[in-house]
Structure 1
Amino acid sequence: MALDHISVAVKDLEKAGRFYDVVFAPLGMVRLADRPETIGYGKKFPEFWINARPDMAPVPADTGVHIALRARSEELVLDVYQTALTNGGYDAGAPAPRQAVLGPYFGAFFKDPDGNKVEILTFPKPE
C-alpha cells in the first residue's frame, strides 16, 4: 500500500492557496489542479489538496493530526518553516534535531492560517 494524497479543509480557499503557493515552492510542489472548491499541489500529481469549507469550525489546537513532508536538507527545512511564518502561518515547533521511532531527524512544525499542522523534515545522510 502507498499513500496517494492528503486533503485538509480551509475556510478561505483563495487565502490558503496564496499561503501554500509560497510555502510549497521551495519543495518543488506547485498547483496542479485548481478548481472552484479545491486546489491540488504536487510535483507530478496532486498529493496535497486544500478544500474550501467556509463554514468549518476552527481546527482544535490539540487535534493530534499533522501532515509531514520530507525535504532534501536542513536548509530547506529552515526555508520552508520561515516562509510559512512570514506568510501567515504560525509556529508549532521550531526547527531542531528530533528523535523518531527509527532514528534521528531534523524537523519543524508550523500551522497554516486555518490551524492545520504541517511538519517539514529531513533525515541525516548516512555517514
Structure 2
Amino acid sequence: MFSYLSLGCSDLQRAARFYDAALAPLGLQRCTPGGDGWDDWIGWGTYLDDGREELALWLCKPFNGEPPSIGNGSMIALRAHSWQAVRDFHQAALAHGGRCDGPPGLRLHYGADFFSAYVRDPDGHKLAAVCRGFTADPALSHTPD
C-alpha cells in the first residue's frame, strides 16, 4: 500500500537519536545514514534502490524551508512483535526526548489483543507501537511476551 512515509523535523540529528533508540526495540534500523546526497534525509525500514520493496519512514527538513508542523489526528502506528517490545519502544522514546501520549497497556476498546503505547517525537509527531495476537489471561499476574 505505501512506498514510504515522511515526517518533517526541525533538527535532523536530534530526531535521528530519538528514532534510532525508539525504533530499535521494533527491529527497525536505518536504511540510509544520511550523507552522499542524502544530507537532509534519514530513513528507517526497508528501501531498496531498485524500487521493488520500499517501505520506509523518512525524516527531513521541510522542502519549503518553513518549520515542520504536525497533523491533527495524524499518527504512525508501528508493528511490535511482543508486549515487551512495546514497553521498550515507549521507554526508549521517553529517554531520548519524546513524551508520553499513552503508556503501554491493553486497549480493550480496540480489541482483546490490542497492546499499544503512544509517544510524541521531539517535533510533536504522534507514534504508536502496537502488538496484536496475544491476550491477557485475567488469572495471570503478568502479561505474555
Q: What TM-score does the superposition give when structure 1 sets the normalisation length?
A: 0.85
Partner of 2:39: 36
CA deviation vs aligned residue, 1:17-72 (integer Å, no higher than 9, x gap)? 11111111121211112221111101x32511111136315536xx1100000100
Deviation of the 1:114 alpha carbon: 0.2
Partner of 1:47: 56
Contact kept, 8 Å, 1:11 with 1:55, in 2: the verdict is no
Map 1:1-127 to 2 at 5 A. Answer: 2-33=1-32, 34=34, 35-42=38-45, 44-45=46-47, 47-53=56-62, 55-56=66-67, 58-59=69-70, 63-98=72-107, 99-100=109-110, 103-104=111-112, 105-125=114-134
CA deviation vs aligned residue, 1:61-88 (integer Å, no higher than 9, x gap)? xx11000001001011000001000110
**Higher strand residue share:** 1
CA deviation vs aligned residue, 1:95-127 (integer Å, no higher than 9, x gap)? 111132xx330001000000000000101338x
Q: Distance in 2 between matches of 1:65 and 1:58?
A: 11
Q: Distance in 2 between matches of 1:67 and 1:112?
A: 11
Query: What residue identity is the alignment partner of 1:10?
Result: C
Deviating beyond 4 angstroms after TM superposition, the runs of 4 or more aligned structure 1 residues are none
5+ residue gaps, structure 2, are: 48-54, 136-145
Contact kept, 8 Å, 2:29 with 2:44, in 1: the verdict is yes
Two-structure CA RMSD over aligned residues (Å) = 1.8
Query: What residue identity is the alignment partner of 1:71?
Result: A
Query: What residue identity is the alignment partner of 1:51?
Result: C
Contact kept, 8 Å, 2:8 with 2:68, in 1: the verdict is no
Contact kept, 8 Å, 1:7 with 1:50, in 2: the verdict is yes
Q: Distance in 2 between matches of 1:70 and 1:50?
A: 19
Q: Compared with structure 1, are the counterparts of its residues 57 and 47 closer, same or farther at alpha carbon in structure 2 (3 Å cutoff)?
A: closer
Q: Which has the larger radius of gyration?
A: 2
